[in-house]
């Protein structure tokens, strides 16, 4: 049975003190429920990782960094390496988020390197894929997602690929208030799973967790998560409100 995940991406929000209080609220709920075969992940700013790792119950909640450097170490002022992230107690790293691709010009080869560095340091990548509005309107969305997977991930062997969590995020639905319908999201998730089966095996495909990440919130999560190939969500704004995020966790 695939692992189902509610992953919050806090982006560049909250002070350390605010983040700790938010994590405490989510942790209080998490410790009160049985989440067998489910996982809560908090993708927090680099500054927050250590204090929040120390705040939450690691048996219920994992911590993710929101990015890592494409170099192992060296004279790269301001960068944070995968090895550094692993030393904080984090277990996941969000790689290839559309905002990193758009604002920081990260390409598929950059992301391939980052994935490899994460895996080398026993970190699980949450790898983001998805198309822009123009690409969907031109009916290029399947080709865009296929290229992203092939150029960044499909060189991995089965063992390494099995540590990848995927997050499909239609870029046109992130922070816009728009949302893919459950049917549109399911269509893409099924397509992704088929690509995995063709490049690896049906078994690997059936065991790969694929999250939805486009304006998922407490109101639409149930309909999205009920689709057969959607295994949870990568949640943006709604993860900054404890009550909203908890409602999403409840429908995993």
Residues involved in catalysis? 97, 169
| Rounded CA separation 238/206 (Å) | 28
| Rounded CA separation 85/190 (Å) | 32
**CB of 66 within 8 A of CB of 95?**
no
| Rounded CA separation 40/74 (Å) | 33
Which string of DSSP letters, residue by residue, matches the chain?
-PPEEEEEE--S---HHHHHHHHHHHHHHHTTS--TTEEEEEE--GGGHHHHHTTS-TTTEEEEES---SSSSSS-TT---HHHHHHTT--EEEES-HHHHHHS---HHHHHHHHHHHHHTT-EEEEEE---HHHHHTT-HHHHHHHHHHHHTTTS-HHHHTT-EEEE--GGGSSSS----HHHHHHHHHHHHHHHHHHS-HHHHHH--EEE-SS--TTTHHHHHTSTT--EEEESGGGGSHHHHHHHHHT-
- For tokens 């605010």, the residue is 18
């Amino acid at each position: 049975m695939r692992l189902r995940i509610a992953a919050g991406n806090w982006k560049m929000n909250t002070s350390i003190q605010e983040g700790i209080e938010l994590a405490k609220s989510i942790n209080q709920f998490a410790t009160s429920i049985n989440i067998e075969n489910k996982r809560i992940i908090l993708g927090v700013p680099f500054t927050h990782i250590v204090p929040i790792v120390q705040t939450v119950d690691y048996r219920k909640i994992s911590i993710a960094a929101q990015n890592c450097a494409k170099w192992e170490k060296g004279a790269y002022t301001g960068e944070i390496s995968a090895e550094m992230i692993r030393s904080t107690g984090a277990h996941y790293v969000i790689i290839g988020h559309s905002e990193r691709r758009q604002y920081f010009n990260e390409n598929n080869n950059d992301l391939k390197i980052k994935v490899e560095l994460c895996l080398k340091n026993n970190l699980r990548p949450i790898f983001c894929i998805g198309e822009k509005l123009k690409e969907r309107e031109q009916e290029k969305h399947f080709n865009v997602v296929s290229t992203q997977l092939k150029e960044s991930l499909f060189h991995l062997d089965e063992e390494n690929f099995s540590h990848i969590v995927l997050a499909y995020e239609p870029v046109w639905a992130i922070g816009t208030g728009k949302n893919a319908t459950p049917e549109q999201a399911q269509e893409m998730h099924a397509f992704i799973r088929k690509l995995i089966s063709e490049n690896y095996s049906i078994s690997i495909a059936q065991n790969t967790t694929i999250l939805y990440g486009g304006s998922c919130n407490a109101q639409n999560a149930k309909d999205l998560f009920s689709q057969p190939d959607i295994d949870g969500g990568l949640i943006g704004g709604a993860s900054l409100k404890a009550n909203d995020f908890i409602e999403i966790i409840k429908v995993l």
